[in-house]
């Protein structure tokens, strides 16, 4: 098959070809195209910003390694993870030559064309590296050289890219047990970059994680709190949240398989906690404790003002063998059916009516958009709906989100965009797709005479930066 | 944010801007625009039509109080229910000044723009009150005056509006225990308005409702039947259905959390009934009795010819505190996952094959459209699919319904539109949205050369009034 | 209602009326319009191809009897199955006059217009029988004569139609116990038609099927294997698969209610098997055995190279009375909620990572497209996604599939089209709809500047024939 992806990025990319919508969308997009980027949640490693002299070493380090969406798609084509430079935990062999990894990537680039990572990559190559050629088997090494050369210049250091991408603020995701030395270093370096930590609660919440005891020890170490019982555990978490807040954090992130919530009595909570300390956790313990801790996180958010994010419905490390051989985040996290209504009732009944509390819900199960999430956000003052997340974060997925959520919850109960990027370069790529998808949707409302162009302009600003700035208190 | 909603209603509202579709849609819409409105199911209070001299007192009485979609959206923005004039059951204070309530509503009107209630309100203000201005903080009181003045004139009495809206027939929803005195009064007044009752079975079916015993007593009182056992209970229901039918009712409505059905033996049914009379209902009793009564309602419909409507999947009064403090219908009814296939098998296996029986299914779970509902309607002669209901009743929701249902079940197994309105003024607004959405969908079929314009014209009449007239036997 | 379906097929049928998309779609469609048809899975009876002199006797034999989608839609309108010529198993009366059956069909043809079978029928009448008239009550008998006359000519024999439809290869579905004499006869006739069998495993897998013991006996007879225990049973299945492979089969098909998988020990498997031989199967046995056999089918596919297809989520013979009175495949198979993630974990963890294994997943539950299926195909080398199946196989259903699957899994993890036809004439009709829907989707990508026209051309060839040829190894 001769298969040649697009040569260059059109200014009308992702817009309906219908001229009324296209022209309106283009106008609305231009209004927000160059607005600063607010990135309230993502997974870029903050350490790359500590030293202005840090550089990305190769195109593979920059574009491939941080993006497990690329890894999983190549793997799905039958290319072993080792071939993509991923080292097995058992010290097995793997490809260390970045030029060979890049070649494999380019040999298979045509399979990415009509997919979420493909849309991002095309943008990154064009806008960040000024490469309009289609990468393929033939030009792989030449393109590698072009990118590698750029990476050696100071204009392509992480700090320089941060500025060039016009990032107003970048929130990273940091373990609950982090001492935030990295963030402290960034802030004391006075680089002028606004990079804030986010408290990721999972490690200390999930009793059935083999690392849990270890996490509790680290939590104890970092807080100086001797964690011998449940009240001390809670005190330590509260203390760490305050540390995060003092370092600029405005949000907390919880990621659980289901959004199950249930309040335990202090006695029950402590019994389960004691069993866990002794390594005697039962599966039921883990579920109930996680459900209780979500309630506790909500209570703490009401007290310390940190926004609570809930990312549910991903079965992490679905393939046991991949997990054992390579560890986590290898692209084998599969969404499952998610039930929000019954699961969140205890939490929402207790805390959802308080407008001072903010709970942002993310889903990988689109059937919940109109059925549960939009109605919940359409009633509870505390509830807001996160934008399309992970697998759903691509143009068609965004169109479905607008279609299914907005008419029920109202735009004001959404939160703008969250890029959730792992790689620095994909941040502007993803925001550009969102801004284009937003412009296209908003233009459609105007073209169908549902709102005025004046209203559309206001809505565009909100979707691009206004809502996320306000909801995340940035 | 400067946010100004649309100044005036375009004749092309809700139509695709693509010119072929737009022009066809406009032509098809014009064909049905002024057809009479058939409203086979809704919640307008029939008592407002008893006396031709009845008037709405304020804009708030007319536009805000009857519409819990407005209440829930304002509440979701952090505005207390009391501020919107809703009185707590505990005699707490609440806003009684309708001008202040209206002001709060207008202050927040911009948040409604891209939402289902927003689309209706824009229509109501324009078509019913000739107000093309955007309501906002500034003009709130002036607009209040304009509406209030109109409400004082006889042209804005409920009866006058009924005629002006060109309502061919309006079916209300009435408790199974209603003596229908209100309807009797309307009919004896010879106003010429066709207003028919609908038998709402819930109150006497749901054993776990705290009001159940009370409802049974009322049922006993209204039928003169001493209800000491299950057979007497069934006799009383049958008697009431006949009363409703004699007053013009053509349909029955059942609203249960799930569509669970199961036939009990008379002995089992009576055991559960006896326990319920003694206040000893178990949760399992309630589920089984409800499942059995749905079977019984189907049997009765076969016998007395009343159409059976089933509205499933709404968790009513999801927030306990709101329910305790304010009572029901406060906007906190959240949809849950709904399973029709397994749940309805007993009922459909027994009654679904009889073409003399009509069972209309409504859902709040869109994932059931193509998976369960369209295939069920595409096989069982008795089954018809209700249009998008409640949260799903907005232009995008209608488009998804057409898209997912029609190709599988065929248009003839749908029932046209059901507005389900609580407020009188939203009836024409909702039918207009439906007629526009139908025209746009049908125009798309013609524009894609799937059907002829002649076929499209026939289809439009059916979707606008034909199907609902025929299915509901009106 | 005057209701007249479309007079003639437009060359732009099913394309967006937006001119950019329409023109691109037309160009892309023309590229593949006359490509040969690859039909890797369907239910056409192979026996009709054995003898070149075989003819279809009446229009009803050709167009109505093989298509249970027509039967179910007519039944759903209140027309008894007997009236449509379906004979009750109890020797009750039924319509034997094909002219009367045809008349009933034509009397109701207008109800098919906006539906999946309607779209196919319009194509078949036009392209295969050169009938552009709308069939209706008036012209029913005249049209009957026109078709019947054509069927008498040698150009309308099954073999002639096979060639005229440009079928490159047709895969039928054959019982696991089939001796393939029919296929042997076709192949020895040297007709030049490529017709291959597919091993349908269900009959021997489903312990709770009343016919299971009988199937095992047939399996024993056809393989010459004395099946007294589980190992012999497995040997017999493996032997039959080899027979199928030797006759050209490239695939196996499994159809289970859920995709539940679980590996049993040989001891457990044999215990269940022994109970089943004695007619003492428990419901749990049936579930566990089916789950285990799916694992075994995967293992065998890895060994013998046959592609494994999994069709899940249809509750077959949902109506007991219809099943008892008329037997299976009467149109009363209703989809249920389907869960792939948990159910397939054992199978995928064990076999899914091997790129030499191919597992094609089909669903009737669209909510699984973006939630489970695309992510699974987007990781596991063995997993591919089947196109919209059965109820979902119509233009809107295809559009939703492209929208929800492609961006996540990538086009390369899909398999092109599978018509699943029961009637020979509907094969080209369905492929035409798919090719048009594919062209419209691909044109949209070009028109929105997401891919180049060159890429689109490559993609079109893949969607039309390339992918199915390659995935099914045809």
- List, for residues C138-178, the tens digit of each pLDDT value: 999 999 999 999 999 999 999 999 999 999 999 999 999 99
The answer to whether C372 contacts A336, with C-beta atoms less than 8 Å apart, is yes
For A200, phi then psi, to 5°, come to -95, 110
* Number of C-beta neighbours around residue C56 at 10 A: 24
Which residues lie below 8 Å from residue B343, measured CB to CB, with a gap of 6+?
A: B258, B259, B260, B261
- Tell me the sheet residues that pair with C384: C360
pLDDT of A4 above 60: no
The per-residue pLDDT for B2 is 46
Rounded alpha-carbon distances, angstroms, from residue B81 to B57, B87, C418: 21, 8, 55
Mean residue pLDDT of chain C comes to 95
As a whole number of angstroms, the distance between CA B345 and CA B351 comes to 10
CA distance to partner chain B, nearest, from residue A382 (Å): 8
Nearest one of B387, B393, B255, B251 to B317, comparing CA atoms: B255
Local confidence band at C328 (pLDDT 50, 70, 90 cut-offs): confident
> Which residue shows structure tokens 């804009």?
B59
**CA distance to partner chain B, nearest, from residue C119 (Å):** 8
pLDDT (mean) for A359-387: 98
Distance from CA of A169 to the nearest CA of B (A): 21
List all residues of chain B from 440 to 469 with a beta carbon under 8 Å from chain C.
Answer: 444-445, 447-452, 454-455, 457-459, 461-462, 466
Please give the helix or strand (H or E) that residue A245 lies within, else none: helix A230-246
Which residue ranges of chain B lie beneath pLDDT 50?
1-2
pLDDT digits (tens, 9 = 90+) for A5-43: 555 689 999 999 999 999 999 999 999 999 999 999 999
pLDDT at C1: 44
Q: What is the pLDDT of residues A229-279, one digit of tens each?
A: 999 999 999 999 999 999 999 999 999 999 999 999 999 999 999 999 999
In the sheet where A199-200 sits, what is the strand order?
A: A174-175, A199-200, A251-256, A307-312, A359-362, A383-385
The two three-digit tokens of residue B17, written as one number: 């801007």
Interface contact B406-C115, CB threshold 8 A: yes
Radius of gyration of chain A (CA): 23
Specify the pLDDT at position C134: 86
Best C346, C410, C464, C469 member to test A by mutation, with max A CBs in 10 Å, is C410
pLDDT band at C330 (very low <50, low <70, confident <90, very high): confident
Q: How far apart are CA A407 and CA A401, in angstroms?
A: 10
> Rounded to 10 degrees, what is the CA torsion of A370, A371, A375, A376?
-120
Nearest to A372 among B13, B320, B334 (CB): B334
3-state secondary structure of A168: strand
Mean pLDDT, rounded, for C389-415? 97
Q: What are phi and psi of B175, to 5 degrees?
A: -60, 145
> Cβ B448–C2 below 8 Å, yes or no?
no
The answer to whether C391 contacts chain A (CB < 8 Å) is: no
pLDDT of A124-136, one tens digit each?
999 999 999 889 9
Give the per-residue SS3 of A17-70. Answer: CCHHHHHHHHHHHHHHHCCCEEECCCCCCHHHHCCCCCCCCCHHHHHHCCCHHH
Integer Cα distance of B3 and B113 in angstroms? 9
pLDDT digits (tens, 9 = 90+) for C21-57: 999 999 999 999 999 999 999 999 999 999 999 999 9
C77–chain B Cβ distance below 8 A for any pair: yes
- Does C3 reach chain B within 8 Å, measured CB to CB? yes
Chain B contact set for C391 (CB, 8 A): 370, 374-375, 378, 408
* Tens-digit pLDDT profile for residues C215-263: 999 999 999 999 999 999 999 999 999 999 999 999 999 999 999 999 9
Q: Where are the beta strands (DSSP E) in B270-405?
A: 307-312, 314-315, 334-335, 359-362, 383-385
Gap between the Cα atoms of A159 and A192, Å rounded: 10
CB contact under 8 A, B412 and C111: yes
Residues of C in contact with B263 (CB under 8 A): none
- Which of C2, C10, C336 is nearest residue B342 as measured by Cβ atoms? C336
> DSSP states of A169-233 as a string?
EEE--EETT---HHHHHHHHTT-S--EE--EE-HHHH-TTSTTHHHHHHHHHHHHT----SHHHH
* Closest to B258 measured CA to CA, from B198, B212, B312: B312
Q: What is the pLDDT of residue A422?
A: 93
| Beta strand ranges found along B313-396 (DSSP E) | 314-315, 334-335, 359-362, 383-385
pLDDT in tens, C352-370: 999 999 999 999 999 999 9
The separation between CA A165 and the C-alpha centre of its own chain, rounded to angstroms, equals: 18
CB-CB contact of C42 with C51 (8 Å): no
Select from B335, B365, B394 the residue whose CB has the most chain A CBs within 10 Å, as the one to mutate to test that interface.
B335
* pLDDT value at residue C5: 52
Among residues B228, B340, B339, the alpha carbon closest in space to that of B276 is found at: B228
Query: What integer pLDDT is reported at residue C9 of this predicted model?
Result: 87
Contacts of B97 (CB under 8 A, 6+ apart): none
What span, in angstroms and rounded, lies between the C-alpha atoms of B424 and B124? 10
Q: What pLDDT score was predicted for residue B5? A: 53
A132 touches chain C (CB under 8 A): no
Q: How far apart are CA A432 and CA C436, in angstroms?
A: 31
CB pair distance less than 8 Å for A78 and C348 = no
Looking at residue A1, what is its pLDDT?
A: 45
Q: How many angstroms separate the first and last alpha carbons of chain C?
A: 49
Q: Strands, DSSP E only, in C277-372?
A: 307-312, 314-315, 334-335, 359-362
Q: What is the pTM of this model?
A: 0.97
Interchain contact, A409 vs B364, CB within 8 Å: no
Torsion of CA A226, A232, A237, A240, to 10 degrees: -40
Q: DSSP secondary structure string, A114-161? A: TSHHHHHHHHIIIIIH---SPP-TTTHHHHHHHHHHHHHSGGGSHHHH
CB contact under 8 A, A348 and B319: yes
Chain C nearest-CA distance from B235, in A, is 29
Task: Please count the residue pairs, one from chain B and one from chain C, whose beta carbons lie less than 8 angstroms apart.
Answer: 157
> How far is C-alpha C399 from the chain's CA centre?
19
Q: Give the best residue of B412, B445, B469 to mutate against chain C (max C CB count within 10 A).
A: B412
Chain C positions touching B465 (Cβ under 8 A) are none
Q: Which of A335, A340, A388, A441 to mutate to test the interface with C (most CBs of C within 10 A)?
A: A335
Measured between alpha carbons, how far is B314 from B306 in angstroms, rounded to an integer?
A: 24
- The pLDDT value recorded for residue B133 is 87
* pLDDT attached to residue B4: 52
> C298 falls in which pLDDT band (50, 70, 90)?
very high
B466 interaction partners in chain C (CB closer than 8 Å): 1
Cβ-based neighbours of B15, under 8 Å, separated by 6 or more:
A448, A449, B21, B22, B25, B26, B29, B436, B439, B440, B443
- By DSSP bridging, strand B334-335 and strand C37-39 are unpaired
CB–CB contact C408 A391 (8 Å) = yes
CB contact under 8 A, B448 and C15: yes
Residue A411 in contact with partner chain B when CB distance is under 8 A: yes
Nearest-Cα distance to chain A for B16, in Å, is: 6
Contact C334 B408 (CB under 8 A): no
pLDDT value at residue B116: 85
Distance from C-alpha of C103 to C-alpha of C84, rounded to nearest angstrom: 10
Please state, in angstroms and as integers, the Cα–Cα distance from residue C161 to each residue in B185, C115, C155, C194, C393, following that order.
Answer: 70, 25, 7, 13, 23
Backbone angles phi, psi at A199, to 5 degrees: -80, 110
pLDDT-derived band at A406, boundaries 50, 70, 90: very high
User: A126 to chain C: which residues are within 8 Å by CB?
Assistant: none
* A218/A178 Cα distance (integer angstroms): 8
C-alpha distances (whole Å) from C273 to each of B53, C176, C223, C261 are 80, 18, 18, 17
Calpha distance A333→B244 (Å, rounded): 56
Average pLDDT, stretch A117-122?
91
B39-68 residues touching A, CB cutoff 8 A = none
Q: What is the pLDDT of residue B329?
A: 85
Phi and psi dihedrals of A159, rounded to 5?
-65, -40
Strands A334-335 and A314-315: antiparallel
Question: How buried is A446 (Cβ within 10 angstroms: 0-12 exposed, 13-18 middle, 19+ buried)?
Answer: buried
Mutation choice for C interface testing from A4, A13, A17 by most C CBs within 10 A:
A17
Q: Whole-angstrom distance between the N-terminal and C-terminal Cα of chain A?
A: 49
Out of B341, B355, B413, name the one closest to residue C334 (CB): B341
- Beta-carbon contacts of residue A379 (< 8 Å; ≥ 6 apart): B72, B75, B76, B318, B319, B331, B332, B334
Cross-strand pairs, A190: none
Instruction: Give the percent of chain A with pLDDT over 70.
Output: 98
Decide if A450 and B337 are in contact by the 8 Å CB cutoff.
no
Token code pair at residue B408:
């599988």
Report the pLDDT averaged over residues A163-177.
98
Q: Do B377 and C16 touch (CB under 8 A)?
A: no
Output phi, psi for B196, to 5 deg.
-120, 145
State how beta strands B251-256 and B307-312 pair. Answer: parallel
């Amino acid at each position: 098959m001769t298969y040649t992806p697009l040569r260059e990025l059109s200014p009308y990319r992702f817009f309906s070809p219908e001229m009324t919508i296209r022209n309106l969308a283009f106008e609305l997009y231009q209004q927000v195209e160059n607005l600063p980027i607010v990135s309230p949640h993502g997974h870029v490693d903050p350490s790359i910003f500590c030293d202005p002299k840090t550089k990305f070493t190769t195109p593979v380090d920059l574009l491939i390694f941080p993006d497990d969406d690329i890894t999983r798609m190549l793997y799905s084509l039958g290319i072993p993870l080792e071939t993509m430079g991923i080292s097995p935990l058992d010290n097995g062999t793997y490809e260390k030559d970045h030029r060979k990894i890049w070649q494999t990537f380019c040999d298979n680039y045509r399979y990415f064309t009509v997919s979420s990572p493909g849309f991002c990559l095309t943008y990154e190559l064009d806008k960040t590296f000024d490469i309009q050629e289609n990468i393929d088997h033939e030009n792989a090494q030449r393109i590698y050289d072009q990118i590698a050369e750029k990476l050696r210049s100071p204009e392509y250091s992480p700090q320089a890219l941060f500025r060039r991408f016009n990032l107003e603020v970048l929130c990273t995701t940091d373990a609950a047990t982090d001492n935030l030395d990295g963030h402290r270093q960034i802030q004391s370096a006075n680089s002028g970059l606004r990079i804030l930590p986010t408290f990721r609660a999972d490690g200390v919440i999930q009793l059935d994680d083999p690392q849990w005891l270890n996490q509790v020890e680290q939590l104890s170490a970092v807080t100086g709190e001797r964690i011998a019982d449940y009240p001390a555990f809670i005190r330590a978490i509260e203390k760490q949240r305050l540390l995060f807040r003092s370092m600029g954090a405005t949000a907390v992130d919880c990621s659980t398989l289901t959004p199950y919530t249930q309040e335990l009595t202090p006695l029950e909570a402590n019994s389960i906690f004691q069993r866990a300390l002794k390594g005697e956790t039962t599966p039921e313990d883990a579920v109930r404790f996680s459900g209780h801790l979500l309630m506790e996180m909500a209570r703490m958010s009401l007290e310390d003002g940190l926004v609570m994010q809930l990312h549910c419905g991903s079965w992490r490390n679905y393939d046991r063998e991949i997990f054992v051989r390579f560890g986590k985040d290898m692209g084998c996290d599969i969404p499952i059916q998610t039930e929000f209504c019954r699961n969140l009732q205890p939490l929402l009944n207790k805390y959802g009516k308080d407008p001072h509390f903010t709970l942002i819900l993310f889903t990988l199960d689109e059937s919940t958009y109109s059925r549960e999430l939009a109605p919940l956000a359409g009633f509870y003052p505390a509830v807001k709906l996160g934008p399309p997340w992970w697998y759903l974060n691509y143009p068609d997925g965004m169109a479905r989100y607008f279609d299914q959520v907005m008419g029920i919850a109202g735009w004001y109960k959404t939160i703008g965009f969250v890029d959730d990027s792992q790689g620095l370069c994909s941040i502007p790529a993803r925001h550009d797709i969102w801004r284009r998808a937003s412009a296209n949707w908003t233009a459609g409302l105007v073209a169908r005479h549902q709102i005025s162009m004046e209203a559309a302009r206001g809505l565009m600003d909100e979707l691009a930066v206004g809502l996320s700035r306000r909801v995340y208190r940035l």
